[in-house]
Amino acid sequence: MQIYDYIVVGAGSSGCPVARGLSDDPRNNVLLIEAGPASDRFWVNTPAGMGKLYFNKSLNWSFRTSPMEKLQGRRMYWPRGKLLGGSSSINGMVFIRGHQKDFDGWRALGNPGWGYEDVLPYFKKMEHFERGGDEYRGANGPLWISDPVVKEKSSYDFIEAANRIGIPVTEDMNGALHDGVGFMQHNIQDGQRMSTYRAFIEPVIERPNLTVRTGCELQRVLFEGRTAVGIEVLKSGRLERIYAAREVILSAGSLKTPQMLMLSGIGPRAELEKHAIPEVLNSPGVGQNLQDHFYIHTAFRCTPDSSYNANLVGLRKYWEGFRYLMTRKGYLALGSSQVAAFVKSSPDEDYADLQISFRPMTFQYFPDGTVDVEKHPGLGVSVYQLRPSTTGTVTLRSTNPSDPADYTPNFLSSDYDINAVISGVRWIRKIMNSEPIKSRVVSEELPGPHIRTDEDIYNYLVETGNSAHHQGGTCKMGNDAMAVVDERLRVRGIERLRVVDASIMPFITSGNTNAPSIMIGVKAADLIREDAMARRASSSPVETVG
């Protein structure tokens, strides 16, 4: 019989730090499982390799939404990492904590211990900020955070243009001033991606009390009554049962965690009955409250010296490759975007509800799933709506754990959301038509000068709008009837089972969600260790789920 004190399911952005924190106590025996393979591959470690991972089905769950009624029935592509490090091993490496009021808002919804002053110590604890520590930043943590190794002149001009129209410049959007415009930071160290696996697990992989297993796909959680006692996994075509003497921790992400809870008998009663799943607990909030940042992309032709596209195509890309191999610097060492501007869609907003991201390069996507840099000089600018008013759902498609769930995001289902995103497109144009960035622009390619009215822009949103891949909220934390976990991330109504990933967010944060997902894992480790449940008797567990 395989028995560990703690079983952590999912070696991603939250799972790796929680496993690391639990194994810091040598008295704890910790198992970390991952459905995907190891992550030590060149294009995973190389920041510019993210384009090659976007459609890589061996390292990516490659989910798709259900047809979206408000978006012409389109099925949106949702990549999620399926390897050690999870989505932190395939994402754009952008590090943005979120606004201070996000976390104060979590606390105000009945979650003591989750206000900004409560989570700031965990952000500081987890990071090594290359500029050094201060009141807001940490310098001794395992996760390296760096500024772009190359800062293009066009990026400086974008910042200056935004400032000239009233957007304040922030030198550190993870510090005192979040709402403003400035260079982004990335989880990159010495030109290589710093995933949560590399930061939190790899340095301690030899610990005798930490076991990491890949290729283990969770099938269900095992119970005695309403107490979680272990898990069942599929490994190399065979079912294995592994037992937890203390707790099972689900860190499979906002799309997989609610699916696994429902397949294990925890979820809305109607959903369980629909699929003839024996009920362990009627938990109506499981799979509800799905949130994401709706994303609109714009693109501009520009002068040759304004974009680094030319350095990544033709013969020059081989020079860049050589330069990277020799120095770990250059354009292959950059994250997905250089600059962000946080602005309000309306003066009525309490704080910025739009994130505008600028990059001095542009991609093109091909029908065969490959992604490449465009040959002509281009500037890419995108906008995310940070606080959507509508939510979606994760529901079951079948009782087969290998089948993706049904994802229904309900994008553009309210006038509030539509007006916010339209405002975001207008903000982009306002900045790009301001000096000094204006002098670098040759023409607007997307959406194009023919898209002028609000109705035109709305149609562009419907036809091209996408996901920023920042899903969260599907097992929300709180004390209301729809809350799945309490403020200590314990599944309500269940013993010895916690959820530790972005699904616990009552609402998603103002910015890329990887940084707060990591913080959740770091904080959760402390919560679990503080609670320190006594070990269960290890003999003959009796399961109530067949």
Helix or strand holding residue 100 (H, E): helix 100-108
Helix or strand holding residue 224 (H, E): strand 216-224
* Closest alpha carbon to 68 in 263, 292, 275: 292
Residues linked to residue 182 through DSSP beta bridges, in sequence order: 340
Rounded Cα–Cα distance for residues 487 and 498 (Å) = 11
CA distances from 349 to 103, 352, 353, 446, 514 (A): 17, 7, 7, 27, 24
- The three-state secondary structure class of 264 is coil
DSSP 523-546: HHHHHHHHH-PPPPP-S----S--
Helix or strand holding residue 127 (H, E): strand 127-129
For the chain, how far is it from start to end, CA to CA, in angstroms? 18
450 noted as active-site residue: no
Q: And the tokens for 374?
A: 């465009």
**Residue 200 CA to chain centroid, in angstroms?**
17
- 94 marked ligand binding residue: yes
Report which residue type is found at 110: G
Which residue out of 128, 178, 186, 470 is catalytically annotated?
A: 470
The sign of the torsion formed by the CA atoms of 155, 159, 160, 165 equals positive
Q: β-pairing, 30-33 with 2-9? A: parallel
Rounded Cα–Cα distance for residues 176 and 288 (Å) = 33
Q: And the tokens for 404?
A: 């993706």
- 91 marked ligand binding residue: yes
CB 137 within 8 Å of CB 127: yes
- 28 marked ligand binding residue: no
* Closest alpha carbon to 185 in 113, 241, 136: 136
Q: Which residues are annotated as a binding site?
A: 91-94
Q: Which residues are annotated as a binding site for FAD?
A: 91-94
Show which residues are catalytic: 470
